[in-house]
Amino acid sequence: MKRRSIVLALILSLVAAPIVSASGLPTAKPEQVGLSSERLDRIGQALHADVERGRIAGAVVVVARKGRVAYLQAVGFKDKAAGTPMTPDTIFRLASMTKPIVTAE
């Protein structure tokens, strides 16, 4: 029974995720929610480096804590061939449902 509840909660969170976008959450400076601006900036630097090396085309990163978005950044391209930049509201198609579960933990 407990496992079924956990699976149901995960499914509901995945279904509800597009409805509750990061733009709808209030924002806060990282320090206001107990995070470090300098350390969060390292995420963007690493992703920019990966885009420049050609390892990834692009990415969107959202870090939220205590119900507020502390870090939101889009890097790289949605469509590299067309030169279309990645935006914070980009929708990603997932080929495997284990990916969002792993990344959500």
Name residue, tokens 């579960």.
101
Number of CB atoms found within 10 A of residue 86's CB: 21
* Amino acid at site 81: A
Which of these is catalytic: 5, 23, 37, 96? Answer: 96
The tokens describing 37, both together, are 């601006």
Known active-site residue 96: yes
Mind telling me the catalytic residues?
96
